[in-house]
Amino acid sequence: MKFLTLVFKRLLRTPVRTSLIGAGVAVAMFLFCMVEAMRIGVEQATRVTADDTVLVVYRENRYCPFTSRLPQYYQPRIEAIPGVVRAIPMKIEVSNCRASLDVVTFRGVQEEAFVEHYAPDFEVVDGSIEDWRRRTDAALVGESLAKRRGLRVGDRFSAANVTVSVAGIFRSSEPQDQNVAYTHLSFIQESSQRGGTGGVVTQFNVKVDSPQRLESVSEAIDEEFSRESEPTSTRPEKAFVAHAAGDILEIVRFASWLGWGSLAAVFALVANAIILSVQDRIREHAIFQTLGYAPRHIVALILLEGTVLGVAGGGVGALAAFLVTRQRFSLTMEGLNLEVVSDPRLIATGLGLSVLLGLLAGLAPAVRASRREIAESFRAV
């Protein structure tokens, strides 16, 4: 603690330099944590697990809900395929099919299928599912979408040429559900100007009885409709998300290089600050050694100074990134959402990296300063 007090006094002697270095470290760590939040969100949305049993049946050679049109009468034929537990038809309307931060996605689902298979996984934080069932133009809105658009129960809002009344707001552990509005299938079919009237859906979500049968069932579904005028392309749900959001995945991969560049900037800033500090305090270190400070004490002082600079700037940057991600941003493409994850572990990661980089940045100057002869230090200008 005595060393820490001394380090703070040394840093406060040069407030402008200390502030600029701290601000630079904060900006760099903010950028790194934001990129990391994007990477975690993408990983969660596309990670394949051993428990995945859902297939998505889409129109072959189509890339957007606007262009995928399948007859609803495919449903019983899909459910007749061995290994299929159920097939849920879904009509999707989006306000924008390109990559964007503010897209409204409507999912039209049959009332019975929604109540039985989707609602049990939701936590309704306002309104109720009963209110949703009473009105055909009602929508259950994900918490992230409601927060982004400032929606409350009873509000009416329009997007993608669809106007709905908010009957409830729900919370879900699935990023895909947090940013959508669930409506009645018949309503969204009749409201859609691009998809025609009833009988046309965007996709089928198919539940399979075993994860080991995903591939065989998907092949059987595509074979069943290969000779129809609307052939299908079937993929596991996570693979479907990864395929549809390919452009976003490329953006995130490129952004990861910016994140590593930010860490390099943190290292360079702290190292530069410590080198300048050591150069300014050559005689001061000689006085400390004269008073009985051992070389290890000089090393500890310099390393602690680098750590304080890293933790102060990195902590501010990581905290700022965490607060920004709390706004629940999401990247949406083709009606699929990749959420920018808000995780308190980002702060811990930022602080841990700041400590590590601060120690590494101060190691070489600290060792050099501790080996300098006292007489040589007093002669230094």
Is residue 191 very low, low, confident or very high in pLDDT (cuts 50, 70, 90)?
A: confident
Q: Does the structure show a pLDDT above 90 at 206?
A: yes
Burial class (CB in 10 A: 0-12, 13-18, 19+), 282: middle
Q: Looking at residues 346-369, what average pLDDT do you find? A: 84
Is residue 195 very low, low, confident or very high in pLDDT (cuts 50, 70, 90)?
A: very low
Contact 52, 238 (CB under 8 A): yes
pLDDT in tens, 134-177: 999 999 999 888 888 889 999 999 888 889 999 999 988 777 78
Query: 200 - beta bridge partners?
Result: 71
CA-closest candidate to residue 21, choices 249, 341, 358, 332: 358
Q: Looking at residues 251-269, what average pLDDT do you find? A: 82
Q: For the whole model, what pTM was predicted?
A: 0.71
For residue 296, what pLDDT is reported?
A: 83
For the chain, the structural domain boundaries read: 2-45+247-379, 61-230
Please give the mean pLDDT across all residues of the chain. Answer: 83
Quote the CA–CA distance of 81 and 201 in Å, as a whole number: 19
In angstroms and rounded to an integer, the radius of gyration of the C-alpha atoms of the chain is 29
Is residue 77 very low, low, confident or very high in pLDDT (cuts 50, 70, 90)?
A: very high
Structure tokens given for 186: 């018949």
For residue 380, what pLDDT is reported?
A: 59
Quote the CA–CA distance of 21 and 23 in Å, as a whole number: 5
